[in-house]
Amino acid sequence: MTVGLVCLTHLLEPPLEDWCSGIGYLPANGSTTSVHPVKVVVEPFSGRHQVYAIFQLDREKSPPGKPVILTVVGAGTYCEIGGSGGLLQHFDGVEANPGYYLSRHYIRTRTAIWLSFQGLFKQLKQPQSWTLTYVE
């Protein structure tokens, strides 16, 4: 009983995130481009790593290994690296167009559960709620 209460309390408290402001993270020597994902997967009750978006990025404008900023409405802003999962051409039923690659970006499962308790679950599933910004 006590273990269940502790687990429930842990899930109900707002998750601590590693957010970033994005200020100074992207290089200042180019123009920024923002894209929405081609697919969003929001299945937090299926286990870890089941809340993510798949973005299609131009290999020339945003080569893998370059800094990107992920913004998810209601969840925050995250400083990340584009293509950190490798140069994906096919993933989860999505195929990259020629000259592009797929980049997968996650938010924490706890964050998604917390947002669902706040009534933002539907919003989290919308591709327009996710944005990836990079410098060309």
Give the tens place of pLDDT for each residue, 95-126: 999 999 999 998 888 888 888 888 888 999 99
Residue 110 lies in domain: 2-135
Total number of domains constituting the chain: 1
Coil, strand or helix at 110: helix
Residue 100 gets the label, from left (phi > 0), alpha (psi -120 to 50) or beta, of beta
Provide the pLDDT confidence category of residue 14 given band limits of 50, 70 and 90. very low
